[in-house]
Amino acid sequence: MKFILLLFVTLATASVAAAERPIAIVIHGGAGALERGRYSAEEEAAFRDKLTEALDAGYAVLDEGGAALDAVEAAIVILEDAPMFNAGKGAVFTREGKNELDASVMDGATKNAGAVAGVTTVKNPIKLARAVMEDSRHVMFAREGAEAFAEEQGIERVDPDYFYTEKRWDALQKAIAKDKSQQKGELSIDRKFGTVGAVALDAAGNLAAGTSTGGMTMKQWGRVGDSPIIGAGTYADNASCAVSATGHGEFFIRLTLARDICAQVEYGERSVEDATRDMIHNRLTGMNAEGGVIVLGKDGDYAMAFNSAGMFRGVKTAVETRVGIYGTEP
């Protein structure tokens, strides 16, 4: 009898705790020189609508009791399919006029991860990254090997022309023209990065993070940025936080930026906000580099920080839905 009573009490407590568990999704669509006035009112509205659509799709998964990983994937697929962001359709061009896509995903519950680099025919690289995580013994596949794995897994592939957008093509032509005046060794930066990413916390207390990108305009053949590098552009661990980054990837790799934020939270017992601020405003800025991150902690506390003029971003929880572009928005 005593045992039954005890069991009942334990279950009752668990269900109360479950009901009170926060769910949340935070997304970004890239950081950079996003000053007010850069976009027309219609363009700005289109960005905000698309961010809201991605937030809603991810949140719906969480609200129905779904997994953080599914929420991250649902949000990112919408952003990959939107030509206005530098991921999937709308990805920037390499120096040779190609679109080479990178993506990664991480499961905070298992610390399992998957990533792909330099794919040219995979419609939604985030889906392939997830397949690498769940259906292979490896963490990262690159180029032809990644495409072959996509074929094997039945992941949708498209003609490389699918990724073409006039806006990105024009950006490449401008970058090529500007290149002559650039210092040797300097990477051409279309200072509006446009990578997409999502982090989510589900009702079971699991965190997940994902990032997808076309990289940087006029990147050199074979160049891989931080987005598919676990610990640089993406990281998730239920013990600390989930992170997705955007910005000048070479610096995010050197700083192991995503992992460092979670390590500060885990070992340094710093708040998500403090750890994020330190990485962006002290360490990234200290290296003269630009970008931003979204971070979600295990208790639902979150941060969206950047040292560029703006960052496409959004958050949805039980109590708020908010999207932003400029640095001066709340």
Tell me which residues are annotated as active site. 195
CB of 135 to ligand ASP, least distance (A): 25
Angle of helix 143-153 relative to helix 125-135, nearest 10 degrees, comes to 80
CB of 15 to ligand ASP, least distance (A): 41
Stretch that binds ligand ASP, among 59-67, 225-233, 266-274, 308-316 (CB under 6 A): 225-233
Q: Which stretch binds ligand ASP (CB under 6 A): 146-154, 188-196, 271-279, 315-323?
A: 188-196
Kind of pairing, strands 112-119 and 140-142?
Answer: parallel
Shortest reach from residue 226's CB to ligand ASP, in Å: 5
| The binder of ligand ASP chosen from 104, 227, 238, 276 (CB under 6 A) | 227
- In 83-122, which positions are buried (b, 16+ CB within 10 angstroms) versus exposed (e)? bbbbbbbbbbbbbeebbbbbbbbbbbbeeebbbbbbbbbb
The size of the interface with ligand ASP (CB under 6 A), counted in residues, is: 15
Q: Which of 73, 107, 147, 226 binds ligand ASP (CB under 6 A)?
A: 226
Cα 154 to Cα 133, 295, 309, distances in angstroms:
15, 32, 40
Considering only residues 23, 25, 26, 30, which one is a binding residue for ligand ASP as defined by CB under 6 A? 30
Q: Does 246 bind ligand ASP (CB under 6 A)?
A: yes
CA 219, CA 228: separation in Å to the nearest integer?
A: 15
Binding region for ligand ASP (CB under 6 A) out of 73-81, 142-150, 168-176, 212-220: 212-220
- Which is closer to ligand ASP, CB of 96 or CB of 152? 96
Which pair of tokens denotes residue 134? 């769940």
Beta carbon of residue 181, minimum distance to ligand ASP (angstroms, whole number): 22
According to CB under 6 A, which residues from 268 to 307 bind ligand ASP?
none
Regarding 234 and contact with ligand ASP (CB under 6 A), the answer is no
| Residue 195 lies near ligand ASP (rule: CB under 6 A) | yes
Q: Is 215 in the site for ligand ASP (CB under 6 A)?
A: yes
Range in contact with ligand ASP (rule: CB under 6 A) among 148-156, 160-168, 211-219, 258-266: 211-219
DSSP code at position 274? H
| Closer residue to ligand ASP in complex, CB, 33/204 | 33
86 binds ligand ASP (CB under 6 A): yes
Q: What share of the chain is helix, strand, coil (3-state, %, to 5)?
A: 40, 25, 35
- Closer to ligand ASP by Cβ: residue 86 or 206: 86
Sole binder of ligand ASP in the list 247, 297, 310, 314 (CB under 6 A): 247
For the chain, the first-to-last Cα distance in angstroms comes to 55
Interacting residues of 132 by C-beta distance below 8 A, sequence separation 6+: 114, 115, 116, 138, 139, 140, 141, 146, 149
Distance from C-alpha of 52 to C-alpha of 259, rounded to nearest angstrom: 27
Q: Are 27 and 313 in contact (CB under 8 A)?
A: yes
Closer CB to ligand ASP, 155 or 289, in the complex: 289
Task: Answer positive or negative: Cα dihedral of 80, 83, 89, 92.
Answer: negative
The least CB distance from residue 12 to ligand ASP, in Å, is: 46
Least Å distance, CB 328 to ligand ASP, is 21
- Contact (CB, 8 A) for 90 and 163: yes
**Residue 225 lies near ligand ASP (rule: CB under 6 A):** yes
| Residues 214, 120: Cα–Cα separation, whole Å | 10
Dist. CA 209–CA 22, nearest whole Å = 17
Contact residues: ligand ASP, CB under 6 A: 30, 86, 193-195, 213, 215-216, 225-227, 233, 246-247, 249
